[in-house]
Amino acid sequence: MVDKRIIERNFSRNSSCYDGHSAVQNKCAAGLARILEDGRYRSILEIGCGTGAYTGLLAGMFPEAEISAVDISRSMLEKVSARPGMERVRFVEGDAESAPVGSGYDLITSNAVFQWFEDIRGSLADFHGKMEKNGTLCFSIYGPGTFRELQEVFGLVLGERKKWLSSSGFVSREKIYKSVSAHFDIVYFDERDYRVSFDSLLGLLRDIKLSGTRGEGLGGVFLGKNMLTDLEKTYYSRFGRIISSHNVIFCKALKR
């Protein structure tokens, strides 16, 4: 289980440069927008709005809707609230699993956030109670295959005695499906891999850090110059290049 204080700190520290390292998250936001494009929603709750790329899409797609957006990072909220067109969005600072966000929503949606939840099934049950009859739940979530190449390389060089990356503990596709179907009727469920290439291992590690997706890091392991060299050589030997997979699951479901 990832410490929420660390998650908040990671995103807050990197809010100013997040947009330059969120290409995959932006692709996920566009994917969610396509899933929702035929809908009509009057009251929307966005979970984990970050710097507002997805919030902007929602505001543009549903100009008549009342939109509330919650995020754990004050720095992120300051950034998104300054974006053009955000004047009509109500922003709430807090942990989405416990923040007072109200109820009566006909759409609750989230882009690449649920993987940080402590109790996804309990949270989905709570969201179910905050929805209107026939409400829609639509989200993307990172799966445990995220950064699998990096996890494999760390295992080869540092030993396989532990899961080196927080992403290795993300909720499985099967558990996500089961958790959603306990409260909703699933109408769309898909899994995709987005792969990004880098010029160096250091470039990949920097991208993970600045996008806020590093979780709790490597548990105090120091990656000195020699260690980075060994890891990079292993990466090229195993994969031929520095590549990073983002394992993303998309879901749309209706309140039962």
Total number of domains in the chain: 1
Distance between CA atoms of 107 and 229, rounded to whole angstroms? 48
Q: How confident is the model at residue 158 (pLDDT cuts 50, 70, 90)?
A: confident
250: in domain:
yes
Count each helix (H run) and each strand (E run) in the chain, helices first: 9, 7
Mean pLDDT of 71-93: 91
Task: Give the number of other Cβ atoms within 10 Å of residue 139's Cβ.
Answer: 26
Domain of 96, CATH number, reads 3.40.50.150
36: in domain:
yes
86: in domain:
yes
Residue-averaged pLDDT of the chain: 89
Question: How confident is the model over 172-211, as pLDDT tens digits?
Answer: 999 999 999 999 999 999 999 999 999 999 999 988 888 7
Query: Quick check: pTM over 0.85?
Result: yes
**Domain hosting residue 25, numbered range:** 4-146+168-195+246-255
Question: How confident is the model over 86-121, as pLDDT tens digits?
Answer: 999 999 999 989 999 999 999 999 999 999 999 999
135: in domain:
yes
Question: Positive or negative CA dihedral for 156, 158, 161, 166?
Answer: negative
Q: In what order do the strands lie in the sheet with 66-71?
A: 89-93, 66-71, 43-47, 105-111, 131-142, 242-255, 184-198
211: in domain:
no
Mean pLDDT of 227-239: 95
45: in domain:
yes
227: in domain:
no
Q: What three-state secondary structure class fits 201?
A: helix
99: in domain:
yes
